[in-house]
Amino acid sequence: MDIEKLEQDIKYYAECYYQGHPVISDEQFDSLVDKLRELNPASSVLKTGWGFEVDGDKVKHKYTHIGSLEKCKNYNEIPDRFKNTKIYISPKLDGLSAVAYYEKGHLIKGITRGNGEYGKDITDKLKLIIGDVISDLSFTGAVRGELIINSLNWNTLSQKYDNLISPRNFAAGIINRKEMDEDIKYIDLVVYKIVGQDSTVKSFINRQQILAWLTHNFKNTIPEYYYPVLNEESWNMYHTQTFDTFKQIGYNLDGLVLTSNNVIYDSKHAYLYDEVAFKFPAETTVTTIENIEWNLSRTNRLIPVAIVKPVELSGAVINRATCNNAKWVQDMQICIGSDIEIQRSGEVIPKILTVIETNGNEVHLPQNCPICNESLEWNGVDLVCNNKHCPNIKLSDLEQWCEVIGETDGLQWTIMKQYLDMYGINSIESLYLRKGYVEEDLNTRQLSITDLKIKEFFKKLYKDEVSLYKLLMALNIPRLGDKTCKELSKYPDICKKLFIYVLNTSAFTSDDYRDIRCDIFNIVKDATTESIFQNLNKVENVKWILESSNTRVNFKQVATSPTKYVAVTGSLQTMKRKDFEKYIEQYGYELTSTLSKCEYLITNNPNSGSSKNKEARKYNVPIITEQQFLEVIK
């Protein structure tokens, strides 16, 4: 599976979800995340927010990272630490998470969860929802809750507006708008925990005390059921009944939350909770396929999506379902007019469980590329376009080039492409041929916040120094991924020789060619070497950097001392995972998923019964916190 494509899909689906217009299902989204976790556990996308970058009024959260919960789907998956002990169970609300910050009882800041590190400033809106003061005027700290619409208000809104999709979508739309909306009065903030507190001593001893304080200070608080002892018998007997009871509170739910009574108050004045989310089996329904869309991916694979007759499922109107790949469509007999059963568990595009009846229709796979009209060919389970001159290849190369070399915090490809289209840029070549026009425009007109990011983006493309590693990654050559580029960048002289050969082939003999190929083979072996030399036309794009008078490649020799490996499980609190990965590189460390060769397993929950912790103990790998590791490397 193409890891990069998988990461881009997860980012896209997360962005749609957080902006209030989800396009795939929770279960489908979770399966994509699980697949990425299996293929690349160190991916920067595997963090709260799943790569979603907060735009606009971005504000950093205080006290701690505002994370998401570990999930389980049956009793056996519930971590052992919750079993045969006393725990609290609360409903998992299907809303938008937000944090309210107080100073001496007065609301001073409201921030959406965002990506866990930064969120959007919604202070004015939150004041309209919950007011600007609480009873406890001594409290300086933060509480977390869920912005959500109750069933009574939803009925009122459904009479007021046509074609509403779901309470969550409508609430997200109101919260994400720049202007104030009168319908904000229909949104509640249901609070469920204290995030942190400016106090030198721990004010609340346990979960029970925190719940009592929240109930005293807020109108809407999370209801909780106290399990005297959670075991398999009590769970099987009561958890569905507990969920049904919680439904009576009038909010959309998507599971339960299990919480221990113990609360930790750390050195940063944050309250840390031991929690896990329990997700119920996905709901299913029957609908009919009205069309099948085939879209070309970055790697020229055709990706099928079924357009289905709109149907309500889990509180949302569904009109799309994933079809995986061409072979799956063929084997499952997916065709227009078929009746199908689909499954959805939350907020994203559902999957097709089975074809109930084809109704006499036949499967029709596309024969030609939708972009260049060349004949398609099979490559494993996929139909692919092998036309090297297909316009999609140039666009894919441009996307990779821009995202790697022009990487700018908070700027996604969708925004980059809007500006590239505006400037008439559709290839790497046109990106540099239109340099003067782009710079003149950005230097002469008044710039918005997004414009300023775009100016930084083009500066990186046109002027800033580029590392050899980034240049190699930007070439978009199959098999030339993160690890191979890092390895190749340790040999700058060989890379220089390859670049010079590609840019001036006529000056080299056949022996020179064999020498260069042999040098590269000794670093990255046969398959990657073959891919590089089959894509020398992509390597030619280095000329736009090497020939620029304002830009140069950093060919500095990379240290080749033995790499030390560490693994990370759970969320990081001090920085994003991709920043953490870059930071530890300077100390000779690299992230890996292979516990047996690790020096440390880094986790902010070292006493957890997670599979990673168990595996680390099996191999006698020290388990330390993020802060402890940062002290070690210093």
Q: Which residues pair with 190 in a beta bridge?
A: 146
3-state DSSP assignment of residue 594: coil
Cβ-in-10-Å burial (0-12, 13-18, 19+) of 89 comes to buried
Q: Answer yes or no: is 97 within a domain.
A: yes
CA distances from 505 to 203, 510, 516, 540, 603 (A): 73, 10, 12, 11, 51
Strand pairing report for 339-344 and 58-60: unpaired
pLDDT < 70 regions, the chain: 1-2, 15-28, 30, 44, 47-57, 163, 165, 314-316, 344-349, 410, 548-551, 556-562, 571, 573-574, 576, 634
Kindly state the helix (H) or strand (E) to which residue 456 belongs, with its residue range: helix 449-462
Strand pairing report for 225-227 and 283-296: unpaired
Q: Answer yes or no: is 443 within a domain.
A: yes
Cβ neighbours of residue 530 under 8 Å, at least 6 residues apart?
A: none
Note whether 447 and 477 are same-domain residues.
Answer: no
Q: In angstroms, rounded to a whole number, what is the distance separating the alpha carbons of residues 615 and 78?
A: 17
Q: Which of 461, 352, 449, 482 is nearest to 401 (CA)?
A: 461
Q: Which of 177, 160, 162, 49 is nearest to 113 (CA)?
A: 49
The whole-number pLDDT of residue 433 equals 92
Note whether 447 and 479 are same-domain residues.
Answer: no
The whole-number pLDDT of residue 18 equals 56
Structural domain ending residue among the three candidates 536, 554, 572 = 554
Sheet of 600-602, strand order? 589-591, 564-568, 600-602, 623-624
Note whether 446 and 344 are same-domain residues.
Answer: no
Structural domain ending residue among the three candidates 554, 587, 619 = 554
Q: Answer yes or no: is 351 within a domain.
A: yes
3-state DSSP assignment of residue 357: strand
Q: In angstroms, rounded to a whole number, what is the distance separating the alpha carbons of residues 46 and 571?
A: 8
Cβ neighbours of 106 (radius 10 Å): 14
CA atoms within 13 A on the CB side of 478: 13
Contact (Cβ atoms closer than 8 angstroms) between residue 148 and residue 130: no
Rg (C-alpha) for the chain, rounded Å, is 27
What is the domain range of residue 405?
Answer: 391-464
Q: Answer yes or no: is 571 within a domain.
A: yes
Q: In angstroms, rounded to a whole number, what is the distance separating the alpha carbons of residues 239 and 504?
A: 71
Four-CA torsion 440, 446, 448, 450, nearest 10 degrees: 0
Tokens encoding 260: 């221990």
Note whether 92 and 25 are same-domain residues.
Answer: no
Q: In angstroms, rounded to a whole number, what is the distance separating the alpha carbons of residues 282 and 254?
A: 10
Contact (Cβ atoms closer than 8 angstroms) between residue 375 and residue 366: no
Q: Answer yes or no: is 559 within a domain.
A: no
Distance separating the N- and C-terminal Cα atoms of the chain: 37
The whole-number pLDDT of residue 133 equals 95
Q: Which of 528, 516, 521 is nearest to 480 (CA)?
A: 528
Q: Answer yes or no: is 313 within a domain.
A: yes
Sign of CA dihedral 70, 72, 76, 78: positive
Q: In angstroms, rounded to a whole number, what is the distance separating the alpha carbons of residues 65 and 53?
A: 15
Cβ neighbours of residue 555 under 8 Å, at least 6 residues apart?
A: 468, 492, 495, 496
CA distances from 235 to 139, 241, 254, 282, 486 (A): 37, 10, 18, 19, 49
Q: Answer yes or no: is 399 within a domain.
A: yes
The whole-number pLDDT of residue 346 equals 46
Note whether 471 and 549 are same-domain residues.
Answer: yes
Q: In angstroms, rounded to a whole number, what is the distance separating the alpha carbons of residues 195 and 544?
A: 49
Note whether 484 and 410 are same-domain residues.
Answer: no
Note whether 117 and 253 are same-domain residues.
Answer: yes
Note whether 259 and 145 are same-domain residues.
Answer: yes
Cβ neighbours of residue 331 under 8 Å, at least 6 residues apart?
A: none
CATH label of the domain that carries residue 24: 2.40.50.140
Tokens encoding 33: 């995340």
The whole-number pLDDT of residue 218 equals 95
Note whether 180 and 259 are same-domain residues.
Answer: yes
CATH label of the domain that carries residue 192: 3.30.470.30
CA distances from 85 to 92, 229, 231, 335, 512 (A): 21, 5, 8, 51, 71
The whole-number pLDDT of residue 211 equals 92
Note whether 312 and 378 are same-domain residues.
Answer: yes
Q: How many domains does the chain have?
A: 5
Note whether 314 and 217 are same-domain residues.
Answer: no
The whole-number pLDDT of residue 21 equals 53
Contact (Cβ atoms closer than 8 angstroms) between residue 174 and residue 183: yes
Q: In angstroms, rounded to a whole number, what is the distance separating the alpha carbons of residues 453 and 447?
A: 9
Q: In angstroms, rounded to a whole number, what is the distance separating the alpha carbons of residues 431 and 603?
A: 43
Note whether 627 and 537 are same-domain residues.
Answer: no
CATH label of the domain that carries residue 618: 3.40.50.10190
Q: Answer yes or no: is 479 within a domain.
A: yes
Our measurement of the distance from residue 105's CA atom to the centroid of its chain's CA atoms, rounded to an integer in Å, reads 35
